[in-house]
Amino acid sequence: MTGWTQDQPLLRLKDVHKSFGAVEVLKGVSFDVAKGEVICIIGPSGSGKSTILRCINALVPIDSGSILVEGQEVNDPKLDKLALRRKVGMVFQQYNLFPHKTALQNVMMAPVQVLKQNKAEVEARAYRLLKKVRLEGKEASYPGELSGGQQQRVAIARSLAMSPDVILFDEVTAALDPETVKEVLVTIRELAEEGMTCILVTHEMGFAREVGDHIYFTDRGVIVEHGAPKEFFAQAQDPRTRQFLDQIL
Ligand code: ADP
Ligand code: MG
């Protein structure tokens, strides 16, 4: 029991430090995410965005500080990582679908094999999830038969199949053709509108402005600046933020 209640932050990072060898990649990162919130992390390449997400999901251990997911310390050696990853879904730039499994089988795999859930129930849910990400009719398709955007939506459905409380998206549209970026963003926006808590690392500034509740700008392992999208994009003060925005807007 953690005593966590839904009015407390779903996620809380406090002064998180992480080094790889001699290089300190996160130099004291702190932020809270409330249930139902969509936060966007933007910033130059190498600034630590992916590392933040990987620490939240316990894919890499932190050196100091604290990461609480629903009140539970991720930085606890006794942590049940499987339980954490059921709560915290993650979608990557490379969708990593199993090439010899159909879209439906990809979505069903973890609930059946890892969670040992009833196959018929998982299958019914997988059909619903593929419909939700607008892939009705593609259930029997193999990844190689799908566009990048379609594969990424299978990956999102696969993440949803674990019924997560929050989903981390790491530049999920960065590798896609421009024409399929939008359909993936539409899917994410629909999830956000339904109240899914989302943390997005993205270079899609229009999307961040439209869908994000809060924007964080990272540079060299620190959060330099943050704010609600409207203020952030209009009034960012820090020269590093301005320079970044001026390059891509
Ligand atoms: P971003 O996602 O903002 O581009 P990353 O979090 O991927 O940045 O990386 C931040 C820094 O940490 C980079 O300098 C990167 O080379 C380094 N880094 C990330 N993962 C590792 C790792 N597993 N081992 C060593 N260095 C790493
Ligand atoms: Mg990255």
Task: Work out the pLDDT band at 84, boundaries 50, 70, 90.
Answer: very high
Domain span holding position 43: 11-247
Per residue in 130-161, pLDDT (tens digit) is 999 999 999 999 999 999 999 999 999 999 99
| Sequence-distant (≥ 6) Cβ neighbours of residue 5 within 8 angstroms | none
Q: Does residue 120 form part of some domain?
A: yes
> Could you write out the DSSP letters of every residue in 181-201?
HHHHHHHHHHHHHTT-EEEEE
Q: How many angstroms separate the alpha carbon of residue 226 from the centre of ligand 1?
A: 21
Gap between the Cα atoms of 129 and 105, Å rounded: 12
Sign of CA dihedral 187, 192, 198, 203: positive
Domain harbouring 24, CATH code:
3.40.50.300
The residues lining ligand 1, judged by C-beta closer than 6 Å to any ligand atom, are 20, 25, 43, 45-51
Q: Does residue 82 form part of some domain?
A: yes
Q: Which amino acid is at 167?
A: I
Q: Of 190, 141, 167, which is closest to residue 85 (Cα–Cα)? A: 167
Q: Per-residue pLDDT averaged across 204-224, rounded? A: 95
CB-based contact 75:61 (threshold 8 Å):
yes
Ligand nearest, relative to CA of residue 60: 1
Q: Which two tokens stand for residue 1?
A: 């029991």
Per residue in 10-43, pLDDT (tens digit) is 999 999 999 999 999 999 999 999 999 999 999 9
Q: How many angstroms separate the alpha carbon of residue 108 from the centre of ligand 2?
A: 27
Q: What stretch of H or E contains 149? A: helix 148-160
Map residue 128 onto helix, strand or coil.
helix
Q: Does residue 5 form part of some domain?
A: no
**pTM, full prediction:** 0.95
Q: On the CB side of 217, how many CA atoms lie within 13 Å of its CA? A: 23
Q: How many angstroms separate the alpha carbon of residue 197 from the centre of ligand 1?
A: 25
Q: Does residue 2 form part of some domain?
A: no
Q: Does residue 142 form part of some domain?
A: yes
pLDDT value, residue 1: 53
Domain count, the chain: 1
Q: Does residue 243 form part of some domain?
A: yes
Q: Does residue 6 form part of some domain?
A: no
pLDDT value, residue 147: 95
pLDDT value, residue 2: 65
Q: Of 151, 159, 168, 158, which is closest to residue 50 (Cα–Cα)? A: 168
pLDDT value, residue 97: 97
Parallel, antiparallel or unpaired: strands 214-219 and 222-227? antiparallel
Per residue in 45-58, pLDDT (tens digit) is 999 999 999 999 99
Q: Per-residue pLDDT averaged across 170-189, rounded? A: 94
Q: How many angstroms separate the alpha carbon of residue 33 from the centre of ligand 1?
A: 23
Ligand nearest, relative to CA of residue 26: 1
Residue of the nearest CA to atom 1 in ligand 1? 46
Q: Does residue 4 form part of some domain?
A: no
Q: What is the position in ligand 1's atom list of the atom closest to the CA of 218? A: 3
Sign of CA dihedral 72, 229, 177, 136: positive
Per residue in 235-246, pLDDT (tens digit) is 888 999 998 988
